[in-house]
C-alpha cells in the first residue's frame, strides 16, 4: 500500500504566505531650496498678512571738486525700495480610522508621521522653487547660441531650443561673471551656489577640451571624477538635485524638448517670512464614536525674491533626458 504523505497540499490551510511587517518608504529627493531663503525680517512692527522689507538706495557718486566760495546744493536721498512677502497658510491632513489602526499589518502611526513629515518638507520646497523660477534674469541656450535677458518671467518661451542645446562650461562662466557684475555676494564662502539637475550635470561633466570641466580634472582633480561630482567650478559650488524643475515645454511642433532649469544664486536672493513655523498637528477626535483620528501638518509662511541681482536661471536641454 502506498504511503499517504501529509504534505503542503494535504494541509494547505496550514501553509500561508509570509508578510514582512516592516514596510519601506518610497525613494525620495532631499529638499534643497528653502535654505536659499536667507533673508528674513528681524524687527517687525506688528502682526500682519503681508510683510514689507525695504532697501535703502545709495546716492549717486559726486566726483566734481568743490568750489571754495560756493556752498554746494543738498541732494535728496532716494526712496527706499519695498519688497513684499505675502503670508499664506499651507497644510495637509489625513484622517485615520480606528479600524485601520486596529487591523493594520504594520504599525501605522509612525509610518503616517514619517509620510506627513516628508510631504511637508517636499511641498514647501516646491513652493520655494516656484518663486525661484519666476526671476527676471534668464540665460537660455537657443539653437546653439546663448541668450541673456533681464526681464523674464517663469513662462518665458524657448521656442527655438533644440535637443542639442545642452549645458556647457560657457554657460557656467557667463553666469558667475554676470553675478559678479551684478555685485551679488557669494553664497558659500567665496563661491556662488549652483543647483543643477543630475541629467544636466552629466553634460557638463562629459564636455571635453582645455576650457571644459573634464580635461582639467583628468590631470589635477581626479577625485571629482571618481565621485562623479562637479564640486567647485568656475566660481560656483555645484549641488545636484533631481528636484530642479524640468518639463517638456520648449521648442515647437516636432521639435518639442524637455527644458531643465538650473539656478545660480548669491546671498539674499530669496526672502522668507514665517507667521507660524511648519509643524505636525494631531487634530481633535470629534466624531460620535471616536473612530476618526486626524493627523497632518500646518504652517503659515511666505517667500519672495529679495535681490534679483543675486539670482540667474539657466535653461537648457539634456542629452540624457528621457524625452
What's the confidence (pLDDT) of residue 2?
Answer: 86
Mean local confidence (pLDDT), 257-275: 97
Exposure class string for 33-71: b at 16+ Cβ within 10 A, else e: bbebbbbeeeeeeeeeeebebeeeeeeeeeeeeeeeeee
Considering the chain, what percentage of its residues have pLDDT values greater than 90? 86
C-alpha cell at position 135 = 526671476
Pick the CATH number of 28-42+83-154+161-219+226-322 from 1.10.10, 3.40.50, 3.90.1690, 3.40.720: 3.90.1690
pLDDT at 179 over 70: yes
Long-range pairs, 100-104, Cβ under 8 A, ≥24 = 101/293
Mean local confidence (pLDDT), 98-126: 96
Question: Helix H segments across the chain?
Answer: 98-103, 108-133, 169-181, 198-206, 214-220, 222-227
Mean local confidence (pLDDT), 190-199: 98
What's the confidence (pLDDT) of residue 295?
Answer: 97
- Break the chain into its structural domains and give their ranges: 28-42+83-154+161-219+226-322
State the pLDDT confidence band at 322, using cuts at 50, 70 and 90: confident
| 67-82 residue pLDDT tens | 999 999 999 999 999 9
Find cell 558667475 and name the residue: 176
What pTM, to 2 d.p., does this model score? Answer: 0.92
Q: Looking at 80-89, 197-206, 252-261, which range is the least confident one? A: 252-261
What's the confidence (pLDDT) of residue 254?
Answer: 67
Query: Residue 82 in contact with residue 53, Cβ under 8 Å?
Result: yes
* Rounded CA separation 91/49 (Å): 17
Amino acid at each position: 500500500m502506498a504511503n499517504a504523505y501529509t504534505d503542503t497540499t494535504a494541509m494547505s490551510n496550514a501553509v500561508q504566505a509570509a508578510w514582512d511587517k516592516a514596510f519601506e518608504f518610497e525613494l525620495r529627493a532631499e529638499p534643497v531650496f528653502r535654505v536659499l531663503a536667507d533673508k528674513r525680517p528681524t524687527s517687525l512692527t506688528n502682526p500682519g498678512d503681508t510683510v514689507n522689507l525695504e532697501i535703502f538706495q545709495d546716492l549717486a557718486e559726486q566726483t566734481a571738486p568743490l568750489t571754495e566760495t560756493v556752498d554746494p546744493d543738498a541732494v535728496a536721498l532716494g526712496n527706499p525700495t519695498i519688497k513684499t512677502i505675502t503670508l499664506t497658510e499651507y497644510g495637509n491632513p489625513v484622517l485615520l480610522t480606528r479600524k485601520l489602526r486596529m487591523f493594520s499589518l504594520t504599525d501605522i502611526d509612525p509610518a503616517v508621521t514619517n509620510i506627513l513629515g516628508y510631504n511637508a518638507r517636499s511641498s514647501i520646497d516646491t513652493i520655494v522653487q516656484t518663486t525661484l523660477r519666476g526671476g527676471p534674469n534668464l540665460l537660455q541656450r537657443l539653437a546653439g547660441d546663448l541668450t541673456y535677458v533681464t526681464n523674464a518671467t517663469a513662462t518665458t518661451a524657448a521656442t527655438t531650443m533644440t535637443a542639442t542645446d545642452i549645458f556647457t562650461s560657457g554657460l557656467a562662466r557667463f553666469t558667475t561673471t554676470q553675478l559678479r557684475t551684478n555685485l551679488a555676494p557669494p553664497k558659500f564662502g567665496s563661491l556662488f551656489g549652483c543647483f543643477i539637475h543630475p541629467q544636466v550635470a552629466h553634460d557638463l561633466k562629459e564636455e571635453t577640451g582645455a576650457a571644459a570641466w573634464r580635461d582639467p580634472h583628468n590631470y589635477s582633480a581626479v577625485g571629482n571624477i571618481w565621485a562623479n561630482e562637479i564640486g567647485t567650478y568656475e566660481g560656483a559650488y555645484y549641488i545636484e538635485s533631481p528636484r530642479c524643475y524640468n518639463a517638456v515645454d520648449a521648442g515647437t511642433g516636432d521639435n518639442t524638448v524637455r527644458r531643465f532649469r538650473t539656478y545660480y544664486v548669491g546671498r539674499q536672493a530669496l526672502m522668507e517670512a514665517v507667521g507660524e513655523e511648519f509643524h505636525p498637528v494631531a487634530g481633535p477626535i470629534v466624531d460620535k464614536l471616536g473612530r476618526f483620528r486626524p493627523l497632518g501638518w500646518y504652517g503659515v509662511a511666505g517667500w519672495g525674491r529679495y535681490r534679483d541681482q543675486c539670482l540667474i536661471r539657466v535653461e537648457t536641454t539634456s542629452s540624457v533626458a528621457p524625452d
